[in-house]
A and B are shown apart, each in its own frame.
Chain A
Amino acid sequence: MKWLHKDLLDVSQLSRSEVMAIFETAGRFQELQERPVKKVPTLKGRSVILFFAEPSTRTKTSFDVAGKRLSADTFSLATSSSSLTKGESLKDTALTLQAMAPDAIVIRHWCSGAARFLADRLECSVINAGDGRHAHPTQALLDSFTLHQEWGDLTGKTVLILGDIAHSRVARSNVILLRKLGANVRICGPRTLLPPALNTWPVKVFSDLSEAVKGVDAVMCLRLQLERQKDGLLPDLREYARTFGLGLKHVELANPDVRILHPGPLNRGVEINSELADTANSLILDQVASGVVVRMALLFLYMTRKGEE
């Protein structure tokens, strides 16, 4: 497939067939994971800058592994080593990076719209690895890829997204992608952690977790940022865990082979019962593995676009 997009800012810009192309490419890279030498020369001589203005371990490592397995040179720039901490503007940081002539920049930033800001100003591909509360397209793609591996088609499946939706870029991108792939989406969380104008989202909203979980095929737990309590959005973590934490009793209300996802890192005992995270229903580690191949697929497609091979 000839890849025409320059940037990946959110899943909304991808058609269903493009998503399928990403999944297909990721599927081919999966076989590579089984080999003793997990490396191909596909992107040899190409360079990717991993610009993480916000702390991240798994996404950054995942992109790093993905790039290296395709033989791309990856360069990391983290918050602490970034000139942003010295007061440099994002524009100047971006132009400096651009002058180093990378083929792609993977950016994570605390501001919604930051990836778009860079994409408008840079010639190389910009891949959004999470911008503020806005979007996390690669996470959504790896989540759906994980479910696609389990189910094949997602059409007609019901997925519950549970927890802090308001502050979650993972939730925003997942809602868009799951709907695009034909799944029904439910949302559940305390009112203080739900975004405004939810009636305009293509989801069903629940405040009672026991109701929300009935008959669902998958539950996607979101990480609760513990500082939300300090922001006054929650009375305390104990109450949150008792009311909105996914427990064994909830799983019994869902479909028997319900799948459980979590983008990590986990707060065991807060958003998810600790044992539940380790059961056969849990796809949490599969998500991590999917993350590498989906990101390999994305780097491949974006860095060999314009019909290059």
Chain B
Amino acid sequence: MAKIDLIVRRARLDGKEVDVFVSRGRIVEVKPSAKSLDTGEARVEEAYGLTLLPSLTDVHVHLREPGFEYKEDVESGLRAAAWGGFGNIMCMANTKPVNDCESVTEMMLEKARKYWPKGPRLFPIGALTKGLKGQELAPMAELAKAGCAAFSNDGVPVESTKIFRLAVEYASDWDRVVIDHCEDPYLGVAAGVNEGEVSSRLGLPGQPDVAEALQVARDVLLSEYLDLPIHLAHISCRKSVDLIRFAKARGVRITAETTPHYLTMTEDVLEAEATEYSTLAKVNPPLRTEDDRLAMIEALNDGTIDCLATDHAPHAGYEKETEFDVAPCGITGLDTALSVTWGLVRDGVLTRETFVRAWTTAPCTVFNLPVNTFAPGDPADFFLFDEDEEWTVTPQALHSKGKNTPLLGSVLKGRVKTHFIAGKKIV
């Protein structure tokens, strides 16, 4: 038996008290907690009363470096990830310059190694087209070799279906999945508010749910035709869910993600007296209706939606403290995602199994990332979580540079106490 170098004692895993044995960064064994134990030379982590969860994987993060370091940089983004329970994060390519060449990918990875050598692990996502312009394919072979785990034009949907098709085909040559930002470019681009009752009364030009669903339909048909996988980013509405369910029933290789905010918030935030026109709730795709929110929960529970992702989109305070039309879209999410979604488990809205699948196994399977299922040989990526600790969402409490969340002022439950990646303590 390998030499045990870490033992986590008396942690709560799925309702049972367990001891976790780790050797050389990998899980050796998880077994019911022993009353007494010869721990030898192993480091012992007392976890009594704390919940043990596998590190989460976030396949949709904006780290803003290079180009917009004042909003977030690799160091601060990874800090927010570490404290947020994330062991793997994938960062989007809409930086400046765009991540469409190996030097940008390498720079991101170098920064990650420099500031967070023990993890969380960073997996850059390369641009699908050069400069995200939707006209020429990005050098995906070069990007894949440099370390890009997937390709996406997130933030700028690919307008030409022809180019998009070619991108999906070319990406498959390098065994990478394409992530599509589903938004018909002609229907209410990045309005930040759903087209409907609320936008009508507030006098804001909205983005209709069909702007998303039209692109989902395109991707479903293309994926089936090409027999290649396509991953759909930040799904927000029932119409999209219906299409994805239809696709999956036909065996189409479509996967999808949604975010904590589409599970917990609706467009009504923008009309509430205290938060009317709040730019903190301006996000793309926009917060939708209660019916859409319920559809997201249903779809996550039945597996139509495979993964959760934060779409962590940090912005500087002054950028959001402006007129609604002028403010950028985006909600910061790495710090709050765990508490928010664990709250849904606590409330019985999501099962623990769904939570674990959506944050760990499913995203890792889709993008071929390391995953910890607590089986022998799995990477020892896990964290200890105090389910009952209450905390108030204040700018000071967030590790990300982005403080732009409509949750500011809310009291959430659940805090990460310790986080291990490959058996090494990172926080």
Contact = CB atoms under 8 A, between A and B. Distances in A.
Is B truly associated with A?
yes
Interface of A: 89-91, 109-114, 116-117, 131-135, 169, 172, 195-198, 200-201
Contacts of B277: 112-113, 116-117
21 contacts: A110-B325, A111-B324, A112-B202, A112-B203, A112-B277, A113-B276, A113-B277, A113-B323, A116-B276, A117-B277, A132-B203, A134-B203, A169-B203, A172-B201, A172-B203, A196-B195, A196-B197, A196-B200, A196-B208, A197-B197, A200-B197
B326 interface: yes
Nearest to B208: A196
Given A112-B325, A117-B277, A132-B325, A89 B203 contact: no
A135 B277 CA distance: 13
B85 interface: no
A197 B198 CA distance: 9
A144 B326 CA distance: 33
A58 to B, nearest CB: 21
B196 A197 contact: yes
A91 B326 CA distance: 12
- The residue in B200, B202, B323 that gathers the most chain A C-beta atoms within 10 A of its C-beta is B323
Given A112-B325, A196-B206, A201 B200 contact: yes
B321 interface: yes
B323 A109 contact: yes
A134 B205 CA distance: 10
Given A113-B276, A113-B277, A116-B276, A195 B200 contact: yes
A89 B200 contact: no
A111 B325 contact: yes
A198 B203 contact: no
A113 B200 contact: no
Q: Which of the listed residues B196, B200, B321, B326 has the most CB atoms from chain A within 10 Å of its own CB?
A: B200
Given A90-B326, A133-B203, 11 more contacts: A91-B321, A111-B325, A112-B203, A113-B324, A114-B323, A116-B276, A117-B323, A134-B204, A196-B196, A197-B199, A200-B197
9 tightest A-B contacts by CB? A113-B277, A133-B203, A134-B203, A111-B323, A197-B197, A112-B203, A111-B325, A195-B200, A197-B200
Given A113-B276, A116-B277, A200-B197, A134 B323 contact: no
Interface of B: 195-197, 199-206, 208, 276-277, 318, 321-326
Given A112-B277, A113-B277, A196-B196, A90 B323 contact: yes
A184 to B, nearest CB: 19
A114 B277 CA distance: 9
Contacts of B323: 90, 109, 111, 113-114, 117
Nearest to A200: B197
A200 B200 contact: yes
B326 A111 contact: yes
Contacts of A200: 197, 200-201
A111 B202 CA distance: 11
B322 A112 contact: no
A205 to B, nearest CB: 12
A90 B319 CA distance: 11
Contacts of A116: 276-277
Contacts of A195: 200
Contacts of A133: 203-205
Contacts of A89: 318, 321-322
A179 to B, nearest CB: 13
Nearest to A175: B201
Nearest to B278: A113
B308 to A, nearest CB: 30
A201 B198 CA distance: 11
Given A90-B323, A113-B324, A135 B196 contact: no
Contacts of A169: 203
A129 B365 CA distance: 55
A135 B203 contact: yes
A91 B322 contact: yes
Contacts of B196: 196-197
B398 to A, nearest CB: 22
Contacts of B324: 111-113, 117
A132 B324 CA distance: 10
B204 A112 contact: yes
Contacts of B326: 90, 111
A206 B206 CA distance: 23
Nearest to A110: B325
Contacts of A197: 196-197, 199-200
Given A196-B195, A197-B197, A113 B202 contact: yes
A109 B326 CA distance: 12
A196 B201 CA distance: 9
B204 to A, nearest CB: 5
Nearest to A169: B203
Nearest to A111: B323
Contacts of A109: 323
